[in-house]
Amino acid sequence: MKIVILCGGKGTRMREETEFRPKPLVRIGEKPIIWHIMKLYSYYGFYDFVLCVGYKGDMIKHYFMEMPWLNNDFTITTGVQSKVQFHTENNENWNVTIVDTGLETQTGKRIRQIEKYIDTDDFMLTYGDGLSNVNIPKLYETHKKSGKIATLTGVNPNSPFGVFKTQDGVVTSFKEKPVLEDTINGGYMVLNKRVFDYIPDTDCSFEQEPLHRLALDGEISIFKHDGFWMAIDTYKDIEKVNGLWNTGESPWKLWD
């Protein structure tokens, strides 16, 4: 089954990093965000990826083309019969298709462009900037049981602000960044290929017309995830996840 990852955005809220590289290549520890996302899927036995690139997409292409020597110790013999001998085995057993879906393209059109690479009834979709420890097999099981076209991972994020209650103009209690009651799309999705019937040929945001039409038709099911989830939108977010990684307290790291 294909895992489609949207990697084409400009990441304007993280200009400290994305001025120089696409957001999926911003590093957590020694590895880029996209590596961490792909490691979650491969931990559960999913190895076939389609990357929708756009902004600085050539850098993502270079990363995967150069992955063998970037991630391994090696000896190179130069000359007419040059060869490379790798001394470590840090290569990932991934099949990666990289599709240039345009610099300014919105998410709906990016997904539309990879339809020809979908060779099964279902495929998975996520974003190149979201970390989670979501149970992918259980997500897929929920999707199959529902019989719906789309299954979204529902999460309840923390409020970015502290909130307080008042009575008669006096503060009676205070909560620091509480968990919100509203459920949002956590970005880890399973889609049936019938979803392409809901995506127009014109440029559009997948999160707008296509998902709204699916909802009106009763074709979206929800997989509730109560574990770790975090969207990496700002430089402060990168500092936070790097702090978790560097202290060995990274809840999205399920692999050894």
Question: Which pLDDT tens digit goes with each residue over 163-172?
Answer: 667 766 666 6
Residues 26-53 as b or e (16 or more Cβ within 10 Å = b): bebeeebbbbbbbbbbbebebebbbbbb
Q: Average pLDDT, stretch 207-233?
A: 95
The per-residue pLDDT for 68 is: 81
Q: Which residue has the tokens 């294909």?
A: 2
Q: Tell whether the model's pLDDT for residue 120 goes beyond 80.
A: yes
Is pTM beyond 0.85? Reply is: yes
Q: Tell whether the model's pLDDT for residue 45 goes beyond 60.
A: yes
Across all residues in the chain, what is the average pLDDT? 91
Beta-ladder partners of 184: 155
Q: Tell whether the model's pLDDT for residue 190 goes beyond 90.
A: yes
The per-residue pLDDT for 225 is: 96
Pairing of strands 48-53, 2-7: parallel
The per-residue pLDDT for 180 is: 58
Q: Tell whether the model's pLDDT for residue 177 goes beyond 80.
A: no
**Burial class for 108, CB neighbours closer than 10 Å (0-12, 13-18, 19+):** buried
The per-residue pLDDT for 112 is: 96
Q: Tell whether the model's pLDDT for residue 129 goes beyond 60.
A: yes
| Rounded Cα gap, residues 11 and 7, in angstroms | 10
